[in-house]
Every structure is written in C-alpha cells, then in structure tokens.
Structure 1
C-alpha cells in the first residue's frame, strides 16, 4: 500500500511530538524514527513487525478511527479487572495483545497475554462540552481480569484489527507491597497534552484546539478541563511516555526493586511513602494537584528520597474531579491564566517548585546542548569518568530547569549544583541549565536533573550516555542503601 497524502494533523504526529526529540521514544514494536510523517506530508510507517508482511501494520488515526480505545479505571492491582472501551471502524474483529515494559534481554517488553478474537463496533461520536471531549458513553468492549500472579509494572495493550490497523492503550498494574523505589508514571501530565480526537475539528488538550478551518489554536483557546474517558491521540501512546519506559528498561535490567503507581494514585491518597526508600519521577511531570504535592512533601519530610529525572516538574496546579457518572478523578482542570480565581502556576501562588525540587523550570531548549559537569568530586559523578567542566553532548534538551537565587530554597542539611550548562533559547538569548541535589533534614536525598534528556540517556537507542547511567546508579544505590 502506498503512503497516503494527508494533512499534517492527520498523521498522528502533531503539535508537540514533531519538534521534540524525546517525544514517544521507541517501544519494541515501534521503529526508532522520531518523525511520523516526512517533509512532503507523507506518512512514515511506525511499525516494523515482520509477522504482518509487507511494511507491517498501519497506525490508526483519529480521523478514520480504524481502532481506538481507553480504559475506564486508573492503575489496577492483581486480582482486579480493567474495562476496555474500544471503537472499530469499519466494524470487524480485533485482538488485544498485552505487553509489559521491562528489559527482557534487550527486547524492551514481553507479551504477557492475548485476548480472544473480539467483535468490534463503531462507538458513538465523542461528546464535547466547552472544549471538553469525553467518550464515557462508549460501550464496554472487553474486560481484562488481572491474574494474581502478574508482575506489577507498566503495561501496554496493543489493539489490532483483522485488516491490520493498530493502536495502543497504556495502563499500570500496582500493589501496596513495600519496595526500595516507587516509580510514579505521570498520567496527569500525559492527559494534559492529549489532543484526542486529533481530527481538525473537535479534539482539545490544555494546549490546543481547532478552529473552523482545521487550524491549530493555542493555549488561550484550548480546553480548561480534559477527560480521562477518551483514547490518547494518534497511535494511542501519550506524548513523553518514552521517558518512563527508558527508565524502566534500564532499572529492571540492573535489578532495582521497584513498585509502580500513577500520579492519580498520589492524588487519591493510595500511596504510603513510608513503604519506599525513594520515589522516582522518570518523565515530564508538569501538572500537579495540591494532594499530590502534599503527599510528596510528606514523603521527603519522613525520610523518603525523591528523584526527578526530567524538567518543568510541578509547574501548573490542577484539580481532579469525578466523571458525570461519579467515577473519581476522571476530569482534569487547569485554568492556566484564564478566568477569575487564583493563578494556576505554583510559583505565582507563593509555592514555587524550587521549594521542593531545589531548582525550577527556566524555559524551552530549541536545540540540544551539552550538559556541563560541575562539582565533579561529588559522589554522584564518582566513577563516571566525568571531570570538572566536561561537556556531556546533547544532554540539555527539550526543556531546562535552573536555580533561581531570589526564590526560597527548601530546608536542607546540604545542597550542591552538579551541572551548569549554557544554552540559547528560541530568541537566541544565552541561558543556563542546572542539575541539583540536596539532603533534607529528614535525611532524604532530593535530586532534580533539570533536563528532558536524562531518562533517554539511560536506555534510548541513539541517546545512551554511560556517564549518566553510572551517575543515576550512584544516586539510586545510595538511596537504596546498596553502597
């Protein structure tokens, strides 16, 4: 089948992913390409699955909705069930293959189970009210009963129609057992960026919506509230999901004892930080509710260490509310700078992020720059081979944090900046990125990488940096008391 000429927004690439070298990240069945269409507007196939013959499967999109779906719960535990709501157009049979993300000898994921062949139907059109798009009225398509013996972790459901269209639904299997580290998947931020349906008409995120001509509108016209009751745009994987998967593959390879949760688990009080030596935030984690922040501050003050491996963390304050049918935490609201009431930036309500992270968001990085090592004698850089002033190529990318001297620091026993990296912003103005670590009075270590490129450097093909791998191991080993 020849590549079909389509408009840019129909490609599944969209507004943020195309310019972000750390957007999706390779999942094992995805090709490594970061672009989903070429310069002429022709689709580049994502898939290279030899079992599917010539050219592999085709990505479902939000215009034709060949196959798209979502789950009606957040993270679930072994023994619980997950309900899938899936639309198939034209109606035909489909299957759901369940994969767990991990190292798996370099494969990056393992297939855990496959559904029986299911009958697909065309679900009703999404409902829209004040830019909020919801599919909560879709019929249930399949129920996955999670066996008690399944490992906790990050999972992906791969939906495939008989005629070879495919999309994805990520989900988390969690439990309450103690572990050295709790990995927190940023599902609240994933949903904030979700433009489903990316159809040039009805989709909206907290960043974008469409005008009458199918043009992309900016933040002032975007949604104020978005729903979890809808698929993710394009191929069904959230923007930046790759950051978390990069960390998971690397950490499971080296045998770290990891528990899993979503940010909505933090919000709802389902996380007891005392069960863990450290909490790891592996990806872009920009949107935080008051209960999320309260839980994480309580963790630090109780001696649980915190590891932030991205940048632009905890920037917007959000609230979560129930769906129309009363299911908790299915609607995400962030007023940004619109309308009455208090502003939505944490730093504008006198709770700057730096008071938790030690640094805070400084801006976008249009082109990757080197991360410049500072204080190379510190234990984080031990045995990495990194010397004072060394430049780690491409490690300041996407977005960057730095220390703000006029903003209060958290209480600390010790504090140090481990990188100071100049870069040029989109206006050509020279700015700098910083990496921070401090020890709280409780003994907790709080690390913030201050760049999007840290997690990809752990296990992303083409981005791996052994110095970052060793520095991260130094950090986690100290937190887990391995040293």
Structure 2
C-alpha cells in the first residue's frame, strides 16, 4: 500500500479563502537557479508562469522545470514541523539583536542563511551571512487559548547580532536542516533609534518603506495543520475543515511562525516595490507597522512614507502618527487597496513583551466597532478613497486625466486600458463620505469591473495635496506593486507613473 495522500493543508499550501491573486509560492524574493520541492517531489514555482501582459517590459518568466522525485531543498510544513521558526522581537536596528526561536523535528543540526531583499542585478535578494551549524530541538507544542495560538514558551535557538555596517532593509532568514528541509522567517532591519528619545534621529533617507507586519500576522493561520491554527479569518473544525470569520480568532500572536513555507500571505507585494525602488536608486529607509504604532519612528523626518503592500489592519496610534506626518508635510503613498480597513489593538505577550498580541473583534460580541468607517473615521479621510470590494477576476485599469503629471512620459492616453491592473481588491471614492482637507484633488483612473455576484462596480486611483503640501497617492488596487517588478505583471506605464510620483516627492527645495 502506498503512502497516504497528503491533504492540501499538509502540503504547506495556503488555505486562506482570501487568496493572493499574484501568489508566488514560497520564494517570491529569490530569482536564482535554485528550486524548492514540496513533500510530493513537485517543483514549487516562485512566480505565476504565464506570458507578460501587453505593454510589459522586463524578463520573460522562465519555464518551470519538470518535477523531480528527490534531491534539492524541500519546504517544511506545519504538520511534521521539520523546521519552523519566528523572531521574538520586532524590527531591529544595526547594533541590536534578533532572537530566533526554532523547532526542528527530528532533532538535528541546522543553519540559517540571511538574505536581504533588493534588486541585486535581478536576483531579488543577496545572501548576507550564514550562521554556524546550530543544534535543533523539538520545541513544545503551541499553546492555545480561545483560538489564540502562541509559541512564546519556545526556547531561544539563535541570537543574530546585527553589525553596525549592515544596510537597513527587508530581510529573510532561510532555515535549513541537515536532511534538506527549509522554512523562512522574514524580519526588518530599521533605522537606528535616537539615544534617550526612543525615536529615530536624523533622517537617513528620503522615503520610509513601512512593511505591513500587523496585516501579515492577521492572515497567519499557523499552524496550518487542520486542527490547531487560527487567524483573524479562519480556524479549523474537528474534521479539519476551515471555519469562517465568525469562528476565527479575535486575538493572534506574533510569537509563532508563519504558516506553510514561513512567508506571509501577500508578502510579495512589498518585495515587488522594494526590488524596483532599489534598482532605480531611491533613497530608502525601512520600518514595520509596529514601529509606527509604538512611536519608534518619526515619519515627519522623511519626505514620504510608502506603504507598498496589503496594509488592512491599523491601530489608532498608527493612524495618528500617519495623519500627523501628513500635516507636517510628509507625503503618503499607498500602493495597494483595502488599506486601514480594520481598527486593531496591540498588547503584551504573557511574558510582558510589548506589542506581541494583535486583537480585532470585527463584528463579534460587545464592544466598540472595528471598522474605521463605523466609528465616524472612514479611511477615505486619510487615503482619499476607500475599500469597495473584491475583484474576482483581473480587469483593466482605465486611465483618466491623462494630461496630469503622474501620467507624463508613460505613453498613456485618456481612456487607455492597462490590462489586469485592477485585481484582488479595489478602492473607490465614496461621494457621501467626507474627503480630507486638500488644496487640490484628482482621480487618475476610473475602471469598471464585476464583483462575485456579477454586479457592476468600479475602481479609482486617487491623488490629493494636503494643506501642508504633502501629496497623498492611493493606487486603489492590489496589482500596482506587482506591475513594478514581477515577471508576467510588469507594466512600463505603471513604472513610469510611480517614478513620476516618487521623483516629485523626493525633489529637494
């Protein structure tokens, strides 16, 4: 008798009902020749394999190699937990340390390769360092309480002391066992903290890239094992079936690995922007949304904040800090959709470490409403547009006001279609919702699509100038960042429009 078939969730595939329309598998950041294999011996591709969209530039996707039964690295899963890990700290600055908590089953040696995300001549990342050989142990099972899953009781496995000369940026730790299983742990190296203030000192860059770690954790279903894991969207029933939001967790912990291959859902959207922006030499600093929440960054020191990925969950402190930045003249760039939809609270772990528990009650039980628009603070008052709904199938983005400087030198004309650019989720202007104070405002796209019920909807792209002079741009679609640097999705018009925006924000007086 052959081996029992591996169920979908046991293969490390994401089981979220909210899927990434640009899913890239476990390696959205690496463009080298190395391939990953799942437990069935099938190649796990790192990108969607199809032809480039019309108007696209850049490399043509390479064919996915034929499956191979053995050899090569294999992706760890959440059932056998061959190797899984997380960091016990948030973002850290050069000179500080990142603590890794890792489980290895069966116990054996493992190593950690540290990669920095960037363009790097098209590779997508560069290996920075490798740990010594480390002794792996089987950590205790996750603790659960009211659907909250936590591994805060795992022993420290390795402490990475970040050298002072490391570049700030988005990093990925690749965990590899002696027998060839691998998993990933993303982390951020941010600007140095100004001594005595807890806030960043003099700005080190024009633009601050804010990585959406709070939203990443909201979607994290770890362990994706058919019985234990839970996110703010799903949990499991006793038969291994996925339950919906009404039965999901209301609190999730940062003290646990990410499900599957160890990279968050939608993580590729942020990495797409980073690769493109570093390729063209933009002066970037980096932080996580928890840094924004905790006041570890002073965004008024930057010319612009860039929110490159899906950034759905915001605390009140995040919003206050961002609004204050806008009022002080810092521009805001939102390159996704459904931004700042849910209001959340952050609390300490059971051991007292701040901002390790994320709570969002959504519409369940007594207490305050969780949607910003339900507490008389709709997201449109900051972003200029707000969430309208999901887009089941990609639709073209229809250019409007093509004579505006954003579309300059893009070759786009009034009414042109940018194929597939309205995808995933979409935002639009709500006429009955108050707009933010502004000097001027313009809609740069108005695009029709149909929702899952076949109802006609539309998407819009927005730009306004605040009284402070700050520009606030919102793409209104999930597909904007992938159009910057993802094979099969790259569009030269979107690249040029984004450059027009950032060049204007970064222009020095």
TM-score by length of 1: 0.95
Q: Distance between the aligned counterparts of 1:406 and 1:279, measured in 2? A: 28
Is the Cα–Cα contact under 8 Å of residues 38 and 75 in structure 2 kept in the other structure?
no
Show the counterpart of 1:138. Answer: 154
2:476 to 428, 446, 450: 450
Partner residue in 1 for 2:305: 279
Alpha-carbon separation, structure 2, partners of 1:471 and 1:29: 25
Structure 2 residue corresponding to 1:322, chosen from 335, 348, 370 = 348
* Residue 275 of structure 1: how far off its partner (Å): 1.1
Secondary structure at the counterpart of residue 323 of structure 1: coil
Question: 1:69 matched to which residue of 2?
Answer: 85
Match of 2:378 among 340, 352, 356: 352
Corresponding position: 1:475 with 2:501? yes
**Residue 200 in 1 paired to residue 216 in 2?**
no
Contact 1:372 1:389 in 2 (8 A): yes
Q: CA contact under 8 A between 1:17 and 1:24: conserved in structure 2?
A: no
Aligned-partner Cα distance in 2 for 1:313–1:97? 33
Cα gap change, 1:3 to 1:105, in 2 (>3 Å): farther
CA distance in 1, matches of 2:4, 2:439: 60
The match for 2:143 among 121, 127, 135 is 127
Unaligned ranges ≥5, structure 1: none
Give the 5 Å matches for 1:65-464: 65-175=81-191, 176=200, 177-178=202-203, 179-464=205-490
User: Which residue does 1:9 correspond to in 2?
Assistant: 9
Greater alpha carbon shift after TM alignment, 19-28 vs 472-481 = 19-28
Kept in 2, the 8 Å contact 1:11–1:36? The answer is no
Contact between 1:22 and 1:452, CA under 8 Å: does it hold in 2? no
Deviations 1:316-361 (A, max 9, x none): 0000000011100000000000011111000000000000000000
Q: 2:29 aligns with which of 23, 27, 47?
A: 27
CA shift in 2, pair 1:132/1:273, >3 Å: same
Question: 1:357 and 1:322 mapped to 2: Cα distance?
Answer: 29
Shift of the 57–17 alpha-carbon distance from structure 1 to 2, 3 Å rule, reads: farther
Output the CA distance in 2 between the equivalents of 1:133 and 1:43. Answer: 30
Runs of 4+ residues over 4 Å off in structure 1 = 29-33, 35-38, 41-44, 46-49, 52-55
Distance 1:80 1:467 in 2: 40
SS of the residue 2:480 aligns to: coil
- Give the whole-Å Cα distance in 2 for the aligned partners of 1:171 and 1:316: 23
Q: Is contact 2:76-2:84 (8 Å) kept?
A: yes
After superposition, the Cα gap between the structure-2 partners of 1:423 and 1:364, relative to the gap in structure 1 and judged at 3 Å, is same
Contact 2:232–2:251 (8 Å) recurs in 1? yes
Query: CA offsets, 1:33-86, max 9 Å, x none?
Result: 9x9989xx995535799xx99552111000000000000000000000111000
Give 1:16 shift: 3.1
Contact 2:335 2:475 (8 Å CA) reproduced: yes
Once the two structures are TM-superposed, the CA of residue 9 in structure 1 deviates from its matched residue by: 1.5
1:241-273 CA deviation, whole Å, 9 max, x = no partner? 001100000000000000000000000011111
